[in-house]
Structure 1
Amino acid sequence: MNPSPLERAIAAAGSAVALAKLAGVTPMAVSYWKVRGVPARHVVLIESATGVHRHDLRPDLYPEAAPTLSQIMTDTTPHGQSGKPSVNTSSTLRGHP
């Protein structure tokens, strides 16, 4: 059976006590999270400390994992183009030197 996202966060932190210290809560609070879910105010901190994505911890609040900047740039750049803005040098203002 696969570990839950919270169990993965606990393992990444080293223990439930270590995760509690990171989040500034008691170990008993972390135990309650196993039943009730991780409170919204702790999700981003746990993500940054353990690498467990916020979407995995609270899919109700974060329905999709946000794309990274490099994913956004890759997705918006057409194939064969550098992604640099192009300058149209053929259109000059007539009558102006």
Structure 2
Amino acid sequence: MDLSAVASAAKAVGSQTSLAKVLGCTPQNVQRMCATGRVPAKHVLKIEAASGVSRHELRPDLYPEASPTLNQMMPQIPVADQSGKPSVHSSSTAQASP
């Protein structure tokens, strides 16, 4: 549990008081989280949604960093032309006459 993760979350939301409002707890609770680096499990997903600080940074014991998916590892293939025009020129599909 990184001490700076909770502080970063509070800063991203605006302040510790703003984060407390998002979480529905007291500013003293948020101050304690910032001082100790311990985030209760019930607050992790709310903090992530409000601040953008990842759940892994907030509680790596509960949310280990996921390995990349196959889609993330594969190069992206450009999307086909959606204009309705054929992507192959008609002359290349014409059969040669005997």
TM-score in same-fold range (> 0.5):
yes
Which segments of 5 or more consecutive residues in structure 1 lack a partner in the other structure? 83-97
C-alpha distance in structure 2 between counterparts of 1:53 and 1:65, whole Å: 12
CA RMSD of aligned residues (A): 2.4
Which segments of 5 or more consecutive residues in structure 2 lack a partner in the other structure? 79-98
1:5-84 map, 5 Å: 5-34=5-34, 35=36, 37-65=38-66, 67=68, 72-75=70-73, 77=74
Q: Which protein has the larger Cα radius of gyration, Structure 1 or Structure 2? A: 2
Query: What TM-score comes out, normalization by structure 2 length?
Result: 0.65
| Higher RCO structure (Cα 8 Å, ≥6 apart) | 2
Paired residues, what number?
Answer: 74
Matched-pair identity in %: 46
Structure 1 outlier segments of 4+, above 4 Å: none
- Tell me how far 1:36 sits from its aligned partner: 5.6
Query: What TM-score comes out, normalization by structure 1 length?
Result: 0.65
